[in-house]
Amino acid sequence: MRPRRPADVVGRPLSFTVRRVVTVASPHALPSCVLCFALLGLGSCGLNEAKSEAEALADGYFAASAAGDFDRVLSLYSDQAFAKTTREQFRGILVDVHTRCGAPKAHTLKAWNAFASTDGSSRVNLLYEVTYDGCLVSERLIVTKVEGKPARILGHHLNIDEVTSGKARGVTTA
């Protein structure tokens, strides 16, 4: 359970200052810190590469989806993606979104994060704002990459945020 805040500070931004003094206790501490920062920098190169590969996969997904090529779309997913939802069920979801909203016209990456494992694999989460013919949709793609294999979509979350200009088919708004 979260602690309660007094009523007079609810809704106000919190601000504080943290001051920390770093003391080098041994002559080996500074080279160790430099080595750590260098390794972090090298790791971020791999994460940027994973992000670029995930974005390329997402671009392929959106192009295939815009063309209505659901076989191509489904080929971009890993086998693990269909552990709980079968290919046929997911195809039905894609067809439903196309029926309700039309084809995707444009997509913009809004946020991303990436994780790398010591075995050379990576996972990238991409959040897109996608403009369809009649809807604005948030789509989160979770892309996995195992060393020596192509990147694949591991998870996909769709949320219809807004129905635009009455073009959406099969969607009623009140």
The per-residue pLDDT for range 135-171, each reduced to its tens digit, is 999 999 999 999 889 999 999 999 999 998 665 555 4
127 found inside a domain: yes
90 found inside a domain: yes
User: What's the pTM?
Assistant: 0.70
Domain boundaries, position 62? 29-163
pLDDT per residue over 70-105, tens digit each?
999 999 999 999 999 999 999 999 999 999 999 999
170 found inside a domain: no
Into how many domains does the chain fold?
A: 1
The answer to whether the beta carbons of residues 123 and 142 sit under 8 Å apart is yes
The better pLDDT of the pair 58, 117 is held by 58
Tokens at 150, concatenated: 């192509």
pLDDT beyond 80 at 30: no
The better pLDDT of the pair 112, 18 is held by 112
138 found inside a domain: yes
41 found inside a domain: yes
For residue 147, give the nearest of 167, 173, 122, 123 by alpha carbon: 122
Looking at residue 147, which CATH number applies to its domain?
A: 3.10.450.50
The answer to whether the beta carbons of residues 106 and 130 sit under 8 Å apart is yes
